[in-house]
A and B are shown apart, each in its own frame.
Chain A
């Protein structure tokens, strides 16, 4: 069985500060990991995806994430927050019985303070 834990349901940062959103996963098989972002009243937009090609994954809008197998983590970072980054962020894992079924974390609401 697979699972994802996102630490911190709400994170607040100041504009220009580092963004760090935490994700830990559990998987019995080599995982594929994703970060999605959801803006109000919208669907999910893919930020980045880990597929074992490289442990440091760069995504859109300046986000990146590092896969650490020893820590079973896939934390999302951005060096400098922008007001437009305010949204809800979801970490997800796929693999196992159905590689196309995504298991999501509970989400982290990011607030960016001026």
Chain B
């Protein structure tokens, strides 16, 4: 089975722009979660989508949003980028059942200038 894929792998944007990141989960997985990883804050949960519905949300401002499509692929959008949004954004997929293992993609590294 193919693993979780994320595109693009690297991205450079400037402050005030918006960005969209994409995640394709493992075939058959219906849950996609997003995490932000920074040196200062570590790994933080952004949100989770299951069957096209946001099921859980972390403590991030409304500039961070996401969606999930009927094929379980997910996108994450960040509007009005700030320097502090520079991070590695990781996507994880699972079956969606409680306590099931989450499998992570390689991440998208976003640099905001």
Q: Do A and B bind each other?
A: yes
Chain A interfacial positions (CB closer than 8 Å to B): 32, 34, 36, 41-46, 49, 51, 90, 92, 94-95, 97-107
Q: Given A49-B101, A107-B42, do A100 and B106 touch, yes or no (CB 8 Å)?
A: no
> In the bound complex, how far is the Cα of B4 from the Cα of A48, in angstroms?
18
Contact among A51, A90, A100, A105 for B94, CB-based, below 8 A: A100
What sequence of 0s and 1s flags, for each residue 24-60 of chain B, a beta carbon within 8 Å of any chain A beta carbon? 0000000101010000001111001000000110100
Cβ A103 vs Cβ B45 within 8 A: yes
Cβ A46 vs Cβ B4 within 8 A: no
12 further contact pairs, Cβ within 8 A, besides A103-B45, A104-B43? A36-B104, A42-B107, A51-B99, A97-B56, A98-B56, A100-B48, A100-B56, A100-B96, A101-B33, A101-B48, A101-B58, A104-B44
Majority-rule SS of A interface residues: strand
